[in-house]
A and B are shown apart, each in its own frame.
Chain A
Amino acid sequence: MAPTINWALDLLVGWVGLSIPPDAAVGYVLAALVQVGMILNLAAVGGLVFIWLERKIAGRIQDRLGPTRVGGRFGWLQTVADGLKLLTKEDLMPTSADSLLFRVAPYIGVAASVAAFVALPFAGGPHPFVVQRLDIAVFFVLAVLGLEVFSIILAGYSSASKWSLFGAMREAAQVVSYEVPLGLCAVVPVMLAGSMDLVTVGDVQRGGFWNWHVLNDPFTLIVFCVYFTCATASVNRAPFDLAEAESELVGGFHTEYSGMRWSFFFLAEYSSMLLVSLLAAILFLGAWHGPVPLGMNGEGWLGSVVGLGVANYLGNLLGLACLMTKGVFLVIIMMWVRWSMPRLRIDQVMTTCLKYCTPLAAVCFLGATAWQAAFPAGLLWRPPTPGLVEISEQKTSPGGAAARSQGREPLEAIGYALPPLRGFSTEAPQ
């Protein structure tokens, strides 16, 4: 993106006789600002919409209307009005609080949940919509998302309040319970795709809904359910919202917060809800691919009508719409669960995660591995994936040529499909 911006700027300043080289700093700074701005907007606007949506859904589930006044019949502007109210509230801090940690805690949560979007692709194909395509994107997203609990524990500790500390301790007990099954579940689609790159994980599910990882075999269906349960726990949503159990702990970890700092916790919560939902959609629900082949990525009829480049872009937009639809659908399910299920006790949370979810995920991991070994090509028709075609073409990919030259068996003999290795020579040494 940066060279494109520099090229455009070069055209602009060309009128006054100046020139900008393609690798000028200004392009990189602008590109970074644009991408950061888009992610921040997604988190903030997503938060606005989801809070309104949650109130409407809660109303419907409880047989009432929800917000109806601010901004017309459906209360569209209710969240904006709430935000204005929060802005004007006094910012309080308890005298015995640890002032530094108390101030810093909300920002850590927001920073962690927004930073995880950096590695999340919104559309795939040859030119994916992603800020930074990482080889280890799944791992990175989970690791950064794990930092969010710091904000809750620090807030709970630094408030110097009994209720807050209870909330923080519950969160601590909860985080060590759900992280194990969450990680185990995320490994299964990674194993099926043969890569931790989210773009590749999404693109191997192309073709149709029968190719989605969730429908790959019976085990992945269970794994998806376990993942979604643990993801709900990881974003502190009911029935796992023990850290802020408002009927027992006043407000839990945010008891002492008010005004904007308080709302930052909710911004973080809603944007990480969207994040884990999008991650679930990419890992299990076919990512940016529609339930039937929609002619994305420039293939099919669209490419022949408007040209490949434009078709790629349009296909990416279509994929973005698909992915967001799936993500928002999962977020709505989380809200539905929240307003229909009673809250678990802390020991029940730990029992659920450690005694049921973890063994279930482990067994399903083994089952999915066995299924993959039994039916490596799947049961139904699967179109070739660009990334993986390369693998089968460069038969002996990494170091294989070198191994052959030494008379050893190539790496493919161990039976794993490998993603192409950029930066490593695949040619035989002369």
Chain B
Amino acid sequence: MIWHSVLFTLFAAIACGFAMAVVFTSNVVRMAFYLVISLSATSGLFFLAGADFVGAMQLMIYVGGTLVLLIFGVMLTAQQRFVQMRPSRSEVLLAGLLGAALLVLLASAAVGVPTWRGSGPKAAALDEPPLTATPIALGLLGFRVDGDPDDGQNRAGYLLPFEIISVHLLVVLVGAAYLARTRLTAGSLAQQPPGGFEQDAAEDRIAEVEAIAADSPGTEGPPT
């Protein structure tokens, strides 16, 4: 019995099972809850694969981002009529059939490559936890410490993509804040139909969106 395989099976079962649960439930808050569990189990898989920095990043950003989804789910669907929304039966059947066919295709492709199957000694020597934070940070600064420069495998750094994605993130956040804000200020709050949210609710929501927009820059620079 290999511990690594046991833990992998456990986390993989949780990740896949709750991903399926996301598909099959129609209550939006439960969906978000199952999604959180699935994403957390996936970060466990990352830890098992030796990518501990990415695993922690996944926990912090992805799961935190899903938390925001959850909150929006609650905010937008607190009325009972939105909590359950089902598609028609034929749509579900068609989607399920197509999904199953695609899954069979992908799985057979994954199993079909011989070098992708499990290799014994490598997977067993896992006692030493990996050190990935510094190499990743150096990679983002443009220096690669993995790979052997002598056999022509001197790998490229990621300084330019890192800068691009930082600017991109900033633009996206400004844009998202603008998108969410214009509608509420220039839009017709006074012309809300009866049953729409009231003034303070709208203000609360502006505050929420601003807060969310301000939260995400923390995702931008990995603190290494």
On whether A and B touch (CB less than 8 Å), the answer reads: yes
Which A residues are closer than 8 A to B by beta carbons?
25, 28, 98, 100-101, 104, 132-136, 138-140, 142-144, 146-147, 149-150, 153-154, 157-158, 165, 168-169, 172-173, 175-177, 179-180, 183-184, 186-187, 190-191, 195-196, 347, 350, 354, 358, 398-399, 402-403, 405-406, 411, 414, 418-419, 421-424, 429
Q: Does residue B12 face the partner (Cβ distance < 8 Å to A)? A: no
Contact B145 A424 (CB under 8 A): yes
Within the assembled complex, what's the spacing in Å between the Cα atoms of A358 and B214? Answer: 10
Q: Decide yes or no: A399 and B145 within 8 Å by CB, A139-B223, A421-B134 being known contacts.
A: yes
**Inter-chain contacts of B13 with A (CB < 8 A):** none
B101 to chain A, nearest CB (A): 32
Of the residues B3, B63, B207, contact of A147 by C-beta under 8 Å: B63
Docked-complex contact A157 and B29, CB < 8 angstroms: yes
Interface contact B3-A184, CB-CB below 8 Å: no
Shortest A131–chain B CB gap in Å is: 12
Is B167's beta carbon under 8 Å from chain A?
A: no
CB closest residue in chain B, given A119: B56
Q: Is the CB of B149 within 8 A of A402?
A: yes
- Determine whether the beta carbon of A146 is less than 8 Å from that of B60: yes
Query: Is B218 in contact with A173, judged by CB distance below 8 angstroms?
Result: no
CA distance A124 to B52 in the complex (A): 21
Residue of B nearest to A430 (CB): B150
Q: Are B131 and A422 in contact (CB under 8 A)?
A: yes
Is the pair B56, A140 in contact by a Cβ cutoff of 8 Å? Answer: yes
Interface range on chain B: under 10, 10 to 19, 20 to 34, or 35 or more?
Answer: 35 or more
As a 0/1 sequence over residues 115 to 141 of chain B, the CB contacts with chain A under 8 angstroms (1 = contact) are 000000000000011111111001001
B74 at the binding interface (Cβ < 8 Å): yes
Known: A176-B215, A180-B214, A358-B214. A422 touches B128 (CB 8 A): yes
Q: Which residue from A135, A358, A403 sits with its C-beta under 8 Å from B129?
A: A135
Is B8 an interface residue, CB under 8 A from the partner? no
Residues of A close to B30: CB separation below 8 A: 98, 100-101
A418, closest chain B residue (CB): B134
Q: Would you call B99 an interface residue if the criterion is a C-beta within 8 Å of the partner chain's C-beta atoms? A: no
Contact B129 A180 (CB under 8 A): no
| B67 touches A (CB below 8 Å) | yes
Quick check: A143 and B223 within 8 Å, CB to CB? no
Which residues in B have their C-beta under 8 angstroms from that of A183?
218, 223
The distance in angstroms between the C-alpha atoms of A143 and B67, with both chains bound, is 13
CA distance A135 to B63 in the complex (A): 21
| Contact call B145/A153, Cβ cutoff below 8 A | no
Tell me whether B1 and A421 are in contact (CB under 8 A). Answer: no
Does chain A have a CB within 8 A of B10? no
Report if A173-B208 is in contact (Cβ < 8 Å); known contacts: A135-B52, A398-B134, A424-B146: yes
In the complex, whether B48 has a CB less than 8 A from a CB of chain A is no
Task: Decide if B91 is an interface residue (CB 8 Å cutoff).
Answer: no
Q: Does B71 contact A (CB under 8 A)?
A: yes
Which of these, A179, A414, A424, contacts B215 with CB under 8 Å?
A179
* Minimal Cβ-Cβ distance residue in B for A355: B214
Q: Once the chains bind, are B71 and A142 in contact (CB under 8 Å)? A: no
